[in-house]
Amino acid sequence: MVLDRSDVRSSLASYGASPRPTATDFVPCEYVRFYDTEPQESSASARTWYARGQNFVLAYSEVVSTAEWVRTAQPDEYTVFVPDRDGPSLEITVDGSTSQLGPYSIAFVPPGESRIRASGAGRVVRLFSVRAEDLVRKCSNAASYTQPHPNVALLEPWPDPVGGFKLRTYSLDVPKDPTRFGTIFRSSNIMVNYGDGSVGPRDTKRMSPHSHDDFEQCSLVLQGEYVHHIRFPWTANLEKWIDDDHTQIGSPSIAIIPPPSIHTSQAIGSGRNQLIDIFSPPRFDLSEKEGWVLNAADYPMPGGRR
């Protein structure tokens, strides 16, 4: 694997050789095409698709005018974000107190009882851990995880946020910094790397093939078209080999990319192509880079680090 050293990610440990033992079992990349499947929930006000990875559930909603989602006994923290500047506004009620969240924002909602009310047309994305068992059962790809996937570490939540669990909100409108990779926020169980995307196809001379030791990457395509390039290691047992994967996919959709595959995503649409990466639990390598996680002061790393 030849790395582009001008990519700021090339300094990450996960971008290079791994000290971990060689994996011997693999599963292929998983794709869920929201644009080509029926939603798991549908009403006159909103349509919602559910899909999962090993440790998380993603709920992608398209709101027509208003919509409401209630959690009565949510076991742990969850995430909600409005990815578009012209998207819905949210009212989030926790412990009887209601807060307003504008479009193009992200919030981390505490465990327990909560209500989210969306006003206006557009998209809303919610992210839960698999402790939300009622939502796990809704997922269109639930059967794929009847048995845990190999090589993926199970979820171990990170430490509680500073000052305890409470509603925390942040704008996605963050100035760009060429020394920082993306726009990253984390909670105790989820990390979101928000990207505005770019216009036109990706430069094929500047791809970024890399691999991860023990965590999935969920790539949520919100606009445009991509080709997800996936390659698995060869082991001594030829029966375990998986063919190279070059899947072209539209939007909205997700790819759940398993470790330790080498992977990179190529934007091919002529208009805006936008992809957001999601991880559960948060990534150590991204978190260890000073200034990369924008709300690191609120969410300590294991071992008391920030």
Q: Which residues lie closer than 8 Å to 25 by C-beta, 6 or more apart? A: 150, 151, 240
| Amino acid 238: pLDDT | 96
Q: Is residue 3 part of a domain?
A: no
Ramachandran quadrant class, 40 (left: phi over 0; alpha: psi -120 to 50; beta: rest): alpha
Q: Is residue 2 part of a domain?
A: no
Q: Is residue 1 part of a domain?
A: no
Sole residue written with tokens 């409401």: 68
pLDDT tens digits along 164-219: 999 999 999 999 898 999 999 999 999 999 999 999 999 999 999 999 999 999 99
Q: Is residue 109 part of a domain?
A: yes
CATH (domain of 111): 2.60.120.10
Whether the Cβ atoms of residue 114 and residue 139 lie closer than 8 Å to each other: no
Q: Is residue 112 part of a domain?
A: yes
* Residue 2 in this model has a pLDDT that exceeds 50: no
Structure-token pair, residue 5: 């050293």
* Residue 89 in this model has a pLDDT that exceeds 70: yes
| Amino acid 22: pLDDT | 78
Structure-token pair, residue 275: 């992809």
**How many whole angstroms separate alpha carbon 137 and alpha carbon 265?**
29
Mean pLDDT of 104-121: 98
DSSP per-residue codes, 196-231: --EES---TTS---B--SS--EEEEEEES-EEEEEE
Number of domains in the chain: 1
| Amino acid 16: pLDDT | 52
Strands 105-109 and 78-82: antiparallel
Q: Is residue 248 part of a domain?
A: yes
Of 2-16, 65-79, 118-132, 147-161, the poorest mean pLDDT is in: 2-16
Give, in degrees to the nearest 5, the angle at Cα 82 between 115 and 193: 115
* Residue 10 in this model has a pLDDT that exceeds 90: no
Q: Is residue 163 part of a domain?
A: yes
Q: Is residue 48 part of a domain?
A: yes
**How many whole angstroms separate alpha carbon 66 and alpha carbon 16?**
46
pLDDT tens digits along 13-50: 655 555 566 788 999 999 999 999 999 999 999 999 99
Whether the Cβ atoms of residue 230 and residue 257 lie closer than 8 Å to each other: yes
* Residue 1 in this model has a pLDDT that exceeds 50: no
* Residue 227 in this model has a pLDDT that exceeds 60: yes
**Domain carrying residue 249:** 8-304
Whether the Cβ atoms of residue 285 and residue 217 lie closer than 8 Å to each other: no
* Residue 74 in this model has a pLDDT that exceeds 50: yes
